[in-house]
A and B are shown apart, each in its own frame.
Chain A
């Protein structure tokens, strides 16, 4: 077993400011109650750090922008990171920051930090060894602008402990292969005892008895330790040493994607949204590719804060993992959106992720190939700008009534192959245009007038049915020619004896 623990010391800040552009120089700090919880680089340059009271921090740096800590967003971001981690290894366990903060007398750095455990032994070969894998993890975290601290160990507890040890981090940055069990124990015994994951009182007790390093603690017989610190502590030491299994709750990724960017200064222009939207789409594509899934719909949620939200749906008819194309489709929609209020957060949601099927891929390569692909792209583009309802197809229906012998089809069924059951149209001349509503034909002195006199050429073709329904349809259809030479499909309603124009032989 090889466990990697990634700690996110700046998560409270990043959950709120991740959407900021890189190189933003405003000093920002996150506060909870009266205390500063985290501060960004610009603020730290003014000596603002965690643990200060708000008045002191403001005295150090008058331009400081204070944000209220948002636990919910933090845990959301941690879930996203777990999802990200899941693309590297199937064994992932996120651990949120301690929630019972009030029980601690003093906030100690490090024990409130959210972290993520990844089991890496199964992923080494696929990524070409430990060093490239760690490199990749660091690079992607950097891209997501998440500060992190890593530690490697033979159990989650050990990894968590070692991630706080600067010498170990140094070693991790240079190492090429994981250490032997012997070396893990050496690292652990080398660690100062204040890094142990236990209560503050226990640590104070350890120091009072002169135990400064874990090695000193391990030298004492376990029964003695148990008498002083309780069974739980012995359990912890055993898990740390690897003599006892160290279970962590395993993470199962939800079958959907959800990522959100929060803007601390709201955006009031839909063009400004394109940049963060691009980032979200790239995140989505990276994940979908790793998990071999695709989504048929991108759901954008523009959050107006307390004034509600707005949803924009982008339909995708074909498995599509190319971020550029997805961004282009999104852009078509966003361009047309009128922002009602300044946008405070932009979220991307994809429910119902589907598995990429090899059959779909094969079709792409060998069948009509690029032609089908092109038409799907065209349809997506048209849908994005004109809206779903502006596209339609037509199909045959089984009915004697002319107006029910066709129906509007969803354009998605366009490219599908003809199905087994084929309907055949009636074997009589039918007009190429049908009027959505039959138009009244004037009748005077036994003559018919519609834009001039009509001359009946053929007929009648009697269509009589639906007498069992409220409205009986009994009609005699004729083909008629107008004075200008147009051919019309007219009928006489047998119940009312009125004449109507129903189609045009165009």
Chain B
């Protein structure tokens, strides 16, 4: 009797073990399942903007993948698009890494946005090679919740972008890659590509590409009312 029970248990165990690789495979963000879509909605990480979440396939930034943000002009609200997400991650105790930010990340503003400064690490690697190395190591370490990097003067090769995407998947890390608007014409392995522009008053988001979801939509997000409130300057 004992041996029969054992046998049954073993069989169940081995069945579970057999199923596991398939489960692992199905959780990969780049595999699109039509049948399971309604049953198992994989959630993204909420961006903090309801309108944007509604457009994104998993109601948020894609987990463990690269999101490209194409921006030409600084100051149109591109950081405020991801700051709520970064703040949420640091509050959960995850590390957030900025690689070669264009200017000094200003601590008072970051704290106002809710970021825990002790979880924020800023890297200044010199040269394209070190930059990519640092990005890849941080992404795949599994220690970091989100990594934000800015494309330097030269555009990284397609294979480097692919490596970053794979590293983000391995390390389960959010990856935001700021690139100039001109790179919209060249294909990219990123899961999500957003083109950010300003229409004068608001931030205009154009969804260029989205795996597992529709693309081509446009969205207008208002800037924080504190900033654009018009009082009459004395000057």
Contact residues of A with B, CB < 8 Å?
A: 368, 371, 374-375, 377-379, 381-382, 385-386, 389-397, 402, 405-407, 409, 411, 413-418, 424-426, 429-436, 456-460, 476, 478-479, 481-482, 484-488, 492, 503-506
Contact = CB atoms under 8 A, between A and B. Distances in A.
27 contacts: A374-B141, A375-B143, A377-B143, A378-B137, A378-B141, A386-B123, A391-B121, A391-B122, A392-B122, A392-B124, A394-B122, A414-B121, A430-B112, A432-B105, A434-B104, A434-B105, A458-B231, A460-B235, A476-B235, A481-B228, A484-B73, A485-B76, A485-B201, A492-B235, A503-B103, A505-B77, A506-B77
Interface string B126-144: 1000100110011001111
Interface in B67-92: 73-80, 83
A487 B226 CA distance: 12
The majority secondary structure among interface residues of chain A is mixed
Contacts of A382: 123, 134, 137-138
B122 A479 contact: no
A482 B123 contact: no
Nearest to A501: B75
A396 B116 CA distance: 11
Given A459-B233, A505-B75, A433 B105 contact: yes
B233 A414 contact: no
B79 A432 contact: yes
Contacts of B80: 432, 505-506
Contact of B233 (A377, A435, A457): A457
Contacts of B200: 485
Contacts of B228: 457, 481, 487
A134 B130 CA distance: 50
Contact of B108 (A379, A386, A396): A396
Contact of A456 (B141, B227, B235): B235
A406 B111 CA distance: 11
B107 A486 contact: no
B29 interface: no
Given A374-B141, A433-B74, A486-B74, A503 B123 contact: no
A377 B141 CA distance: 9
B14 to A, nearest CB: 28
Contacts of B109: 425, 429-432
A311 to B, nearest CB: 21
Interface of B: 73-80, 83, 93-95, 101-113, 116-126, 130, 133-134, 137-138, 141-144, 197-201, 223-224, 226-231, 233-235
Contacts of B198: 484-486
A368 B93 CA distance: 9
Contacts of A433: 74, 79, 101-106
B197 to A, nearest CB: 8
A157 B116 CA distance: 65
B123 A458 contact: no
A459 B235 contact: yes
B76 A486 contact: yes
A459 B106 CA distance: 20
A397 B117 CA distance: 12
Contacts of A431: 106, 109
Nearest to A476: B235
Given A375-B95, A393-B121, A435 B104 contact: yes
B229 A458 contact: yes
Given A374-B142, A503-B103, 6 more contacts: A374-B143, A378-B137, A394-B104, A406-B106, A411-B121, A431-B109
Contact of B103 (A374, A436, A476): A436
Contact of B130 (A385, A402, A479, A482): A385
Nearest to A436: B104
B218 to A, nearest CB: 15
Contacts of B103: 433-436, 503-504
B120 A393 contact: yes
B143 A488 contact: no
Contacts of A426: 108
Point out which of B117, B130, B134, B230 has the most chain A C-beta atoms below 10 A from its C-beta.
B117
Contact of B73 (A418, A459, A486): A486
A486 B196 CA distance: 12
Given A406-B108, A431-B109, A505 B227 contact: yes
A390 B229 contact: no
A392 to B, nearest CB: 5
A488 B223 CA distance: 13
A323 to B, nearest CB: 20
A391 B122 CA distance: 6
Nearest to A368: B93
A484 B76 contact: yes
B230 A395 contact: no
Nearest to B233: A456
B73 A487 contact: no
Nearest to B95: A375
Contacts of A377: 141, 143
A487 B120 contact: no
B208 to A, nearest CB: 19
A360 to B, nearest CB: 18
Nearest to B81: A506
Contacts of A429: 109, 112, 224, 226-227
B120 A478 contact: no
8 nearest A-B residue pairs (beta carbon): A485-B198, A486-B75, A374-B143, A406-B107, A425-B108, A433-B103, A375-B143, A506-B79
A198 to B, nearest CB: 65
A485 B108 contact: no
A377 B108 CA distance: 29
B118 A488 contact: no
Contacts of B134: 382, 385-386
